[in-house]
């Protein structure tokens, strides 16, 4: 069965500092991987996705993520965090075993706090 682990429930960073949010997945084939962000009172917004090809993918709002097959990881990074990045971040996995992106499994989320 597919699964996603986000080991950090809460992370606090200072504004301007770099950020890395961890995501590890379990999937029996080449995964499709996604990062979503949820601001308070909002729905989930897609930050970026990986289907194939270049393992470093760029997303919106200056975020990037790197797919590392050997480590079953898809960590999210940002070089300089802004106060408006404070939100909850979700990693998700799907793939050909589950009809492509038809069925996604989400991690439990990482809550990011930004200190001014």
Partner 1 sequence: DADVTQTPRNRITKTGKRIMLECSQTKGHDRMYWYRQDPGLGLRLIYYSFDVKDINKGEISDGYSVSRQAQAKFSLSLESAIPNQTALYFCATSRGGPQYFGPGTRLTVL
Nearer to partner 1, 79 or 100 (CB): 100
Nearer to partner 1, 79 or 113 (CB): 113
Residue 15 sits in the site that holds partner 1 (CB under 8 A): no
Range 34-93, binding partner 1 (CB under 8 A): 34, 36, 42-46, 49, 51, 90
Residue 107 sits in the site that holds partner 1 (CB under 8 A): yes
Q: What are phi and psi of 89, to 5 degrees?
A: -120, 135
Of 66, 54, 62, 61, whose CA–CA distance to 22 is shortest?
66
Question: Pick from 7, 28, 79, 100: which binds partner 1 (CB under 8 A)?
Answer: 100
Residue 22 sits in the site that holds partner 1 (CB under 8 A): no
Nearer to partner 1, 62 or 101 (CB): 101
What is the SS3 assignment for 84?
helix
Q: Summarize as ranges the residues that interact with partner 1 (CB under 8 A).
A: 9, 32, 34, 36, 42-46, 49, 51, 90, 99-104, 106-109
């Amino acid at each position: 069965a597919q699964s996603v682990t986000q080991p950090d429930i809460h992370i606090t960073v200072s504004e301007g500092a770099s950020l890395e949010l961890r995501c590890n997945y379990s999937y029996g084939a080449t995964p499709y991987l996604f990062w979503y962000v949820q601001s308070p009172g909002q729905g989930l917004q897609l930050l970026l996705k990986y289907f194939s090809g270049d393992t470093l993918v760029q997303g919106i709002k200056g975020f990037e993520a790197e797919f590392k097959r050997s480590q079953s990881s898809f960590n999210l990074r940002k070089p300089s965090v802004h106060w408006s990045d404070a939100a909850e971040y979700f990693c998700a996995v799907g793939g050909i075993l589950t009809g492509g992106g038809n069925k996604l499994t989400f991690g439990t989320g990482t809550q990011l706090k930004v200190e001014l």
